[in-house]
Amino acid sequence: MVLVFVTGNGHKFQEASCLFSQMGIDLEQADLGYPEVQADSLEEVAEFGIAWCKEKLKKPCFIEDAGIFIDVLNGFPGPYSKYVFQRIGNQGILKLLDDKMNRQATFRSVIALQDGLSTHLFIGETKGRIAHEAMGTGGFGYDPIFIPEKNDRTFAQMGMEEKNQLSHRGKSLYKLVNHFKERK
Beta bridge mates, 125: 108
Phi, psi of 101, rounded to the nearest 5 degrees: -75, -45
Q: Which of 65, 98, 115, 143 is catalytic?
A: 65
Is 65 tagged catalytic?
yes
Smallest gap, in angstroms, from Cβ of residue 80 to ligand IMP? 9
Residue 59 contacts ligand IMP per CB under 6 A = no
Restricting to residues 74-113, name those near ligand IMP by CB under 6 A: 81-82, 85
Query: At 182, which helix (H) or strand (E)?
Result: helix 168-183
Query: Closest by alpha carbon to 160, among 142, 177, 140?
Result: 140
Among residues 19, 27, 130, 143, the one that binds ligand IMP under rule CB under 6 A: 143
Residue 56 or 87: which CB sits closer to ligand IMP?
A: 87
Query: Closest by alpha carbon to 169, among 150, 142, 151, 145?
Result: 142
Smallest gap, in angstroms, from Cβ of residue 95 to ligand IMP? 17
3-state secondary structure of 36: coil
- Sheet of 104-114: strand order equals 26-30, 2-6, 61-70, 104-114, 119-130, 146-148
Residue 9 or 117: which CB sits closer to ligand IMP?
A: 9
Sign of CA dihedral 158, 159, 162, 166: positive
Residue 3 or 168: which CB sits closer to ligand IMP?
A: 168
Restricting to residues 3-22, name those near ligand IMP by CB under 6 A: 9
The radius of gyration of the chain from alpha carbons, rounded to an integer in Å, stands at 16
Restricting to residues 145-164, name those near ligand IMP by CB under 6 A: 155
Residue 66 contacts ligand IMP per CB under 6 A = yes
Residue 48 or 155: which CB sits closer to ligand IMP?
A: 155
Active site residues: 65
Given the rule CB under 6 A, which residues bind ligand IMP? 9, 65-67, 81-82, 85, 139-143, 155, 167, 169
